[in-house]
Structures are given as structure tokens and as C-alpha cells.
Amino acid sequence: MAEKSYVVRDRIPLSATSSAIEVNLERLDTYRIHVVPDTAAAAEVLLGELDGRRAAVITDRTVAALPAYRLTETLGERGLLLGSKIVDPGEKSKSLDTAYALIDWLAQIGFARRDVVVALGGGMIMDTVGWVASAFMRGVPYVNVPTTLLAQVDAGIGGKVAVDHNAAKNLVGAFYQPRAVISCLEFLQTLGPRQARAGLAEALKKAIIASPELFEYIERHAGALVQCHSSAVGPLVSAASTIKTELVGRDPYEVDLRRPLNFGHTVGHAVETTTGYGPVLHGEAVAFGMVIAVDIARARGLLDPALADRIVGLITGLGLPVRLEQLRSVPPVEDVLGALDKIREIRDGSLRFVLPVELGTTLIAEDVTEDEVRAALLRNVSADVPVGGR
């Protein structure tokens, strides 16, 4: 392709009268979320989004054995596959070590600025690959192709990318939006019930904070949703994606720390940190965190007891943990409180709880005490679970 020549003419006035130079920068990110029925449709959309660019696909060993990996073969057949990299599955791979290895790989295969990284997998892949894309060459384009329900309704959307650190979950991260998101419903048919339920927790979170209509939809279709029947899950993925993009669009860089999307995440992140990032799925931790937030809201008189029971009843009906001992790895109560203290330190002494008031209305509370959290935890744990000590 012939090189083009451009003339750039600037006339920038200089002033020595001001002691401070004010810098005003504005960035507008736009991208499309495609909810498609099958692999063939996903491949067509991906090729369209690449628009002739080369792609480097990053996935994990689990996805590499599934039909979703056929997208990589399609890119190879079209001469657009720069390379593919497979990492170990699970939260343990959401680390700086993995991220540095991926950066080394991109450099070795000759990845150029015009090329596109394709993140093919679940939440761990979305978060890790997104952060790698944000850091490599100061930012290269990436496309999310989420293969789990949790990634389709949450992790693959919104541009919050990060890897974990021993001190806290998602400690090393950035705000960096994808070029596109392609959610293929066919991929969800390979999910087991546990993974499906974990994704439903994030969808339910959005329903509680922003959509009574979606809450009622989940109530009506709970059984089909756990089975990931496409006729039921398609509207769920579209609705949850719409809700998240609307809420993120109001404050994409989280300048305002009062964020309803953090509902369930305060205690949820503490559970994940305490249990070592892995034994408890993110959606399971968030589900239990929502139960604790509901309990605190009820105890404060903010939430009608009947609605509190309805919310907890739906979480139970979806097969998600509502009591501490129902987690795959059961942390002592005091260990959870200790993890919350660390999170408070990282956040400059502030610990915010999103407390539901009614469906579609929340209160962002910065005055929830340790005693309130301890009491809520103890109300949602059996007597034979160790309390522990710090």
C-alpha cells in the first residue's frame, strides 16, 4: 500500500502570564456488544470487527478443548491468525506472572499496533488479557469473546481490566474498553450448573440494583436459566449487558466511588481473598456478599423484610450460597473481617457497602461498622463453623 503524505499546520499561541498550565483531555470510547446464537454467527461478526486486521488469540486450556476454539481455526483459514496462546485455567492465572508472559509472547510473535488481541474465555481471560492489551505498546485493540455466562453478563463488559495481587483482588488494573464484545449463546451449552449459577449471580445483582423487570424474569425462568437454555438465557444476556453498559457509561472511570455495581462485592472480594482466589467462584462470593448486604439493610430498617426474604429466596432457588458454610472453601468469620480491613486500607480508609432499599434503589453506605458486618456474618453461618481470631 502506498504511503500517504500529510501537511500539518499548527499556530499555537504562547502565554507567560499563567503560573499553571491547564490541560483538558477528553476520550470517547464506543464499541458494540453482539449477542449471537451460534459459532458460525460469532465467526462472521468477529471477522467483521477485525476488518482485515491480524489477530492474536489468547485462551485457556479448558476453552481450547471446546467448540468455541473453532474461531481460532477460522482465523487461521482466513490468513488472519498471527498466533494463539493457551494459559492454565482458573483464577491462579489471573496474575502478573501470566500477564508478563503474555506480553513477552506478543513481542515475540511480532504483534503490531494495527493487530487485535482476541480474548476467548471466561472472566479470568477477560480481565487478564484486557489488562495486557492496555499495557502493551501503551494500549492495543482487543475483542472480548466471552465463553461463560458470568463473562457475558459482566466481566467482558465495561472495560475494567485487572490482575490479582497477594494483597488484594484486582489490585493491578486499568480502565480500557474493548473494540467489541461477541457473546455467543451456543458457548453456554458447555457450562456446568455451577458455572451457570455463578453467572446468574452477576445477572441477579444487576436486576436488584437496577431492574425489577429483570428480577421478575429471573424468578420466572430460574430453572431454564440454570440449564442455560438459549431461549431463556438470550434475553438475560442482552438485558444484563444493557444494564451494565448504562451504569458504566455514566461514570466509566469511576470518578464517583458511589457505585451500585459493587453490590455484593465488598464481602465477596474479602471471601475471595481469604480463600485464595479459586476455591470459591467469583459469582458464588458475590451471591454470599449480596446476602450479607441484604441482611445489613434489613437490620438497619432500610429493606422491607418481605423483599429481603424474596431476594434471599431467589438466590437460594438458583442454587447459590446464602450461608458461609455453603461456600466450597469456608473461611472463619474473623478472617473475612481481616480481609475487609485490608481492603479498607487499600481504599484510603473507606469501605463502601451497597445496601438495597427496594428493587432498583440502593443506598451507598460508608458508615457500616465492623460490628454490623460481624453480626450479619454470624447470622448467616452455622454454630459449628469456626469464628477464628486476628
Backbone angles phi, psi at 78, to 5 degrees: -90, 0
Q: How many whole angstroms from its chain centre is CA 143?
A: 15
Q: Are 145 and 182 in contact (CB under 8 A)?
A: yes
SS3 at position 60: strand
pLDDT tens-digit series, residues 69-89: 999 999 999 999 999 999 999
Separation of alpha carbons 48 and 52, rounded Å: 8
Q: Catalytic residue positions? A: 138, 160, 202, 244, 254, 258, 262, 265, 269, 282
pLDDT tens-digit series, residues 91-111: 899 999 999 999 999 999 999
DSSP letters for 356-383? EEETTEEEEES---HHHHHHHHHHTS-T
pLDDT tens-digit series, residues 23-82: 888 888 899 999 999 999 999 999 999 999 999 999 999 999 999 999 999 999 999 999
pLDDT of residue 1: 47
pLDDT of residue 257: 66
Q: Which helix (H) or strand (E) holds 10?
A: none
pLDDT of residue 27: 81
pLDDT of residue 389: 56
Residue 229, number of CB atoms within 10 A of its CB: 15
Q: What is the CATH number of domain 32-190?
A: 3.40.50.1970
Residue 363, number of CB atoms within 10 A of its CB: 15
Separation of alpha carbons 192 and 288, rounded Å: 20
pLDDT of residue 184: 98
CATH of 193-250+258-379, picked from 3.30.420.10, 1.20.1090.10, 3.30.930.10, 2.40.50.140, is: 1.20.1090.10
Separation of alpha carbons 1 and 295, rounded Å: 64
pTM above 0.85, yes or no: yes
Higher pLDDT, 228 or 255: 228
Beta bridge partners of 165: 168
Is 277's pLDDT higher than 50? yes
pLDDT tens-digit series, residues 295-332: 999 999 999 999 999 999 999 999 999 999 999 999 99
The residues near 236 (Cβ < 8 Å, ≥ 6 apart) are 153, 203, 214, 217, 218, 221, 225
